[in-house]
Structure 1
Amino acid sequence: MHITISAKHMELTQPIRDYIERKMSRLPHFFNRLQEIRVIIERVPHGYHVEVVSDVEHHQDFVTNSEHRDLYACVDVVSDRAVRQLHEWKDRIRGAKKHIGTRRRLD
């Protein structure tokens, strides 16, 4: 799995890059079909906007957004949302395969 981090209207420092990589590296633990994670950080007038695009095998990309004044808080929120989104998708896939139809007794 590959993590790509890009920034718009700001300079991406090494501590921020390390923090984002550490937070995003936990996503494959919840869903192992991740091929790539793209993190886009944008400086907006009222704070930061962070978008995470999770490229999942055999499915459309999952997109998660967050806006906050603090960049680290924004990364925390968006990573938690991405984990929840992937976890819900994984549960949905597992539930569909384990569905058992109702049986009727014929007398």
Structure 2
Amino acid sequence: MQVAITCRHGEISGDFRDYMSRKSEKLLHYFERVQSAQVTLDFEGDRVRVEMLVDAEHKHDFVTHHEMSADDVGPCFDQVLAKMEQQIRKYKEKLTDHRRDKPLSKVIGDGLDSDVEESENPE
């Protein structure tokens, strides 16, 4: 999975970039069709805004953003990641078929059993 991290009007350490990259790659655990993630940190005065854009195949982009004070870049990123995980889980849940239909073998098997009983007991 490709992870692009962009900073506007400020810088972050290499360790924090690695941390964000590792955490973003864990989105594959929730949805295996995730292809890329783009994280943008925008430092504006005493505030930081973190935005995450995730691209999955056969789906439009997932977008999440959060804004906090500039001292709290780590927790801000963690909240954005939690929101993204929630969005992906919700989307994956919508894709899952939850109907509890009887399997075809069970339907055919029930029909065969009644035919056998009728032929054994001709009345």
Same fold (TM over 0.5): yes
CA-based RMSD of the aligned residues comes to: 1.4
Counterpart amino acid of 1:39?
V
Partner of 1:75: 77
Partner of 1:39: 39
Partner of 2:87: 85
5+ unaligned residues in a row in structure 2: which ranges? Answer: 102-123
Partner of 2:23: 23
Q: Which runs of 4+ in 1 moved over 4 A?
A: none
Higher-Rg structure is 2
Cα deviation for residue 100 of structure 1 reads 5.8
Partner of 1:13: 13
Normalized per residue, which structure has more helix?
Answer: 2
Cα deviation for residue 76 of structure 1 reads 0.7
Greater RCO, 1 or 2 (C-alpha within 8 Å, sep 6+): 1
Counterpart amino acid of 1:7?
C
Higher alpha-carbon deviation: 24-33 or 40-49: 40-49
Partner of 1:48: 48
Cα deviation for residue 99 of structure 1 reads 3.3
Give the fraction of aligned pairs with identical amino acids, expressed as a percent: 31
How many pairs were matched up?
Answer: 99
Cα deviation for residue 68 of structure 1 reads 1.2
Q: Secondary structure at the match of 1:49?
A: strand
Q: Secondary structure at the match of 2:38?
A: strand
Distance 2:43 2:11 in 1: 10
